Structure 1
Amino acid sequence: MFGLGGSGEGVVSMTEREKERRLAPLRLIESYWHGLLGADGLAPLRSQIDPRGIESALEYAFLGERIAPMLAKLRVSGTHLNELMGLDMAGMPLSTLITPEDREQLGAAVSKLFSEGLEIRLRLVAEEGFGKGRLTGDMLLLPLRSDLGDMSRMIGGLVTHGRLGRTPRRFRIESISMRKPGQAPIMPAPLPAPVAAREPLLGLAESQAPYRTIRTPKAPRETGKRPPYLRLIISNDD
């Protein structure tokens, strides 16, 4: 920090200024999305999104769609996401960016985004290793409606701080906050319990069923008896 005297007046925090600069693309995406919200807080339509409205944030932005209750696929991906993973992320699940052990947490948050129209913010820390130094990230997820009116689309952004290093770079989730548009953030503690097995693919339909545990029935034990549909037939025609 730099100051003009011992009183603290005129002190400028370079850390805060750097943070504001780094998060500027997410703030632009968020403010643009808020400008498209309906008077009743209804999420904007996917067709309302004009790339020119977030031109300076396009490399960090992405568009996605719901393909299962807890899973979203990227349809359009900014160049920064592609650089992080070392491949074109368009067509890939959003969870590809997250380490396997934290994907259930992401799935629970994605489910809330689509079912309740919540704004989601994630604080991320990348895995480290050979050629992979300290790298942190911030992700923003905002709901959109399809042209049919169902909440099955999203717009989001991902910015990082640190050296990229060797790719791919996947992230652990450090924290998640959620909120209704215009309300204070909700800190989930804990997140909704994940399902034990992935539910069937439902396309763009939205499931209203509550979280539940799916148990696999036990296989019947072998008894050594013949199945009831097998019969012994003896022919005396010869």
Structure 2
Amino acid sequence: MIITSLTHHALTQHAARALGILGAYWASLVRQGDLPLWSEVDPGQIQDALDHAFLAERFGHCHARIRVAGGAVEEMAGKPCKGLPLSLLIRANDRAVFNEAVSACCIAGHPVEIALTSEEDVAKSEISARLVLYPLRDSTGRVAQFLGGLAPVGNAIYRPGPFGVVEVMTDCTPSHRSRLRLVVDNT
């Protein structure tokens, strides 16, 4: 019993760290206020987070399709995710809210974090997972892809399958590198 608890705790700590790695990596790619290009994503740079990471491609106004997903993402989804709409991770009655969050991420170009629950009654449930979406642009400058992550939270026990949406948080202040300008006065 103790070993299971310690294992669950260690895995949960790794999952939280993985989401932190994804966020820091995405922020490091933001240059002078421009969102990172899809082609700039290097899986080798987020190796410790790959199990909880996924890449998704936007289609339509507010939808995305998973192109590749780590093993922990597929385990939490309860099925292989490649080619599936991202919204299939969400219960049918919460998909409208989820799709609005995806749309906001595309339009505003800011990361989105979604607190999820595996409980049937969202109002009475505890947060059991976090899903993050980081916008990526294509060569035309349009947000067309996402670097994302999905990880369990705390001691919550989740069931594989669709999640309910508890809360959507948007980051209205993406990390920007300092904008320094060299001014030379030769007078």
How big is the alpha-carbon RMSD for the aligned residues of Structure 1 and Structure 2? 2.4
Give the Cα–Cα distance (whole angstroms) in 2 for the partners of residues 103 and 86 of structure 1: 18
Give the AA of the match of 1:95: S
Q: 1:28 to 1:176 in 2, by over 3 A?
A: same
Structure 2 length-normalised TM: 0.78
The answer to whether residue 40 in structure 2 is matched with residue 48 in structure 1 is yes
Match of 1:36 among 29, 32, 35: 29
Match of 2:140 among 128, 137, 148: 148
Q: Percent identity?
A: 31
Give the Cα–Cα distance (whole angstroms) in 2 for the partners of residues 123 and 48 of structure 1: 27
The answer to whether residue 82 in structure 2 is matched with residue 90 in structure 1 is yes
**How many residue pairs end up in the alignment?**
160
Moved more, 53-62 or 140-149: 140-149
Residues 159-193 of structure 1: CA deviation (Å, up to 9, x unaligned): 0144455x4x211111111023049xxxxxxxxxx
Give the AA of the match of 1:112: A
Shift of 1:124: 0.7
Greater radius of gyration (CA) = 1
Gaps of 5+ in 1: 1-16, 129-133, 184-238
Gaps of 5+ in 2: 1-9, 121-125, 177-187
Residues 33-61 of structure 1: CA deviation (Å, up to 9, x unaligned): 1101011x111000000001100000100
- Checking the alignment, whether the CA contact within 8 Å between 2:128 and 2:158 is kept in structure 1 is no
Structure with the larger RCO, 1 or 2 (CA within 8 Å, 6+ apart):
2
Structure 1 length-normalised TM: 0.62
